[in-house]
Structure 1
Amino acid sequence: MDNIQQSSSNSKTFLSFSSVLSKDCLNIGKLLRLSGFKKRSGADILTLFMVFIKSIFSGADSLHDRYSLKDLETPDCSYYALMRFISNCKHNWSLLLLLVAKAAISMISALNDKGHINTLCVDDTVIERPRGKKIEGLSRTFNHVIGKTVKGYTNLLITWTDGISNIPVASELMTSRNEDCVIRSLSKRIDRRSAGGKRRANSVMRKPKLLIELCKDNMK
């Protein structure tokens, strides 16, 4: 009974979330095109994106588990099509996040007074991946919260806030710059000019320098 209630609650949450992504609100289809998301055949980009978003609300621990659940409706695309969509190095997820954030911020700012103070907040949280030996860029990093070195990444996150709402505008997964600490090296087959290549270059930059560049991009 609890699982049925949770599934119903997730479905309602997804319907509310999908209405925000609609053409009348954020127009996520247009933002996907501006971020370089393209597809020649099969399910269109918007369908793949909505399947990916809906999988988050399905209650599954991973995309693979989502396709294994028989009590949920069948997705509109195959598991492999969705994985190719997510791993495509030409898709600029950072730009998509920034465009969505700007659209959301403009709507929220219109509700505030003209003299309302807005600010950018920075956080670098360690994301542990103790069993991910084959994950690209995995490294040993020091977690200051628990006071020991762990396997994972440092998530450099920039958010916008007006004191009430908090919206992420940029996120970069940082790997160790020390080769001795790197467990899985970054792929060298990715075109450095692509969005994926640029993100890999950002992952080994010094945090202060990368932070300045991200803030400049956000202020445009």
Structure 2
Amino acid sequence: MFLMNSIISNHSEDKKFNFTINNFFKINKLGHILKQCNFRKEKGFSCIKIFKFIFMLVFSGKNLFRTLDTGKTLEFSKDVVYRFLNSPNFNWRKFLLMLSSSIITNILKPLTSDDRVNVLIVDDSLYSRNRSKSVELLARVRDHVENKYVKGFRLLTLGWSDGNTFLPLAFTLLSSAKEKNRLCPENQTLDKRTNGSKLRKEAVLKSPDAMLKLIKRAVEIGIPASYVLFDSWFTYPKTLIQILNLKLHTIAMVKAMPKVYYDYDGKKLNLKSLYSSVKKRRGKAKILSSIIVGIGTDKDGNKIESKIVFVRDRNRSRQWLAIISTDTSLSDDEIIRIYGKRWDIEVFFKMNKSFLKLGKEFQCRSYDSMVAHTTIVFTRYIMLSLENRNSKDLRTVGGFFYQCCDELQDIQLCEALQIIISTLKDILKEKVLLSKEIIDLIIDSFIKALPCYIKEKLSLFSCES
């Protein structure tokens, strides 16, 4: 009996999960987006079928090898999967950007008030291939956690957040800008006109240049955001000015670099000198001070100003941190609050590496296959992020929520007006000593003088009275 209940329960859960995935593919029109991004096969299985098979692998608890090893009959062989991943013609970057843009515009934006601050977040994370020897564009990259060099890539990622939901927009698997740090060359036989060839060129850019390319694409497609958030690795005055030229403000952590100067009080000072020259707040204030500095000039020679906020380092009581904002109209507290949204991307990286098999599910050697698999992993996260939003935000239930909301507001207004008029009646009886007929006449005259939209709300009160 227990076994039967377990089988029924598992079957029910499987059906529910399959429905969730099918619904995600259908509502967001993944098949249509794939076609728009050059996903076509001359013969054989459709791209959407292969994409969906790879997409669901992680949720089965098996990789491709284990799935084939179970003896389960598949419609296609593993060669079909690897050919799909290795194709340089598919535009994976366009697919991810179009999918996230569609979800933001059609699903998340209607749920977000106009007052909420939407942001773009940029960060990089280690994409380790430490046991590999012949992976295309493999390089020696710095692991900032372990403080040593390892073999792999730097996964530079651009995401969008409204404070509740984070969605990845684009990414670049960065090799090394220095040729001497690249352990393996790129595929020289590849057609230079393909999407794969263009991605390889960006893989050897310096990280600030690659970041600006990602932000520019997000701006061109119309992603709604007011600020760009990133940590101190990208914070240079030149970069802040370039982002301003894209009509976006920046809020970022500032690193105390001795050769990076800011204009303050007619002098050029580095960050440590700035901190020494400003007056600090007394006591154990979290915000120590804030100042307006110049970071350069625009094309017309006008001075570009930014605001630097010095805050206490909670891990080291005698140390401080600095956050810079190119929007000088923001208060100190608001700058810190908005910058706090940058943590969303750290959760995103943790989720992809620990649970969604980023860099672990396929040990491919071509650069195209790594880009393809990373995009599929990011798509898994998008689905989970939407499901998380649906489970927490009641407004995602649909129009029924708004109908209930409107009805609730109407009842509250009706009750409030009823209380006001009943109180007015009691006061007229006690204080003015008028008859019931005269009081009713005064109330009727009062109601007739009200605007029409209020009189409609009073129809319930009139019926009850």
TM-score with structure 1 setting the length: 0.89
Deviations 1:139-185 (A, max 9, x none): 11111111001111100001100001000000110001222221221
Alignment of 1:35-184 (within 5 A): 35-60=37-62, 62-70=63-71, 73-106=72-105, 107-184=107-184
Map 1:10-49 to 2 at 5 A. 12-22=16-26, 25-49=27-51
* Shift in Å, 1:7: 10
Kept in 1, the 8 Å contact 2:176–2:205? The answer is no
Contact 2:139/2:153, CA 8 A, preserved across alignment: yes
Following the alignment from structure 1 to structure 2, what is the Cα–Cα distance between the partners of residues 28 and 147? 40
C-alpha spacing 1:104/1:81, structure 2 compared with 1 (3 Å)? same
The number of equivalent residue pairs is 213
Distance 2:10 2:140 in 1: 37
Which structure has the bigger radius of gyration? 2
Pair 1:172–1:13, CA change in 2 (3 A)? farther
Question: Contact 2:91–2:195 (CA<8 Å) still a contact in 1?
Answer: yes
Amino acid at match of 2:161: T
Equivalent-residue separation in structure 2 for 1:144 and 1:112 (angstroms): 36
Identity of aligned residues (%): 27
Change (3 A) 1:47 1:145: same
Pair 1:17–1:138, CA change in 2 (3 A):
same
| Alpha-carbon distance between aligned partners in 1 of 2:120 and 2:14, rounded to the nearest angstrom | 30
* Contact 2:125-2:154 within 8 A present in 1 as well: yes
CA RMSD of aligned residues (A): 2.2
Cα pair 2:171 2:214 within 8 Å, conserved: no
Number of the residue aligned with 1:186: 186
**Greater relative CO, 1 or 2 (CA 8 Å, sep 6+):** 1
Structure 1: unaligned runs, 5 residues or longer: none
Give 1 or 2: higher helix fraction.
2
1:48 shift after superposition: 1.2
Structure 1 residues 6 and 164: alpha-carbon distance in aligned structure 2, compared to 1, 3 A threshold? farther
Q: Name structure 2 gaps, 5 residues minimum.
A: 221-465
Structure-2 change in CA distance of 1:216 and 1:176 (3 Å): same
**Deviating 4+ runs (over 3 angstroms):** 4-15
Structure-2-length-normalised TM-score: 0.43
SS of the residue 1:158 aligns to: strand
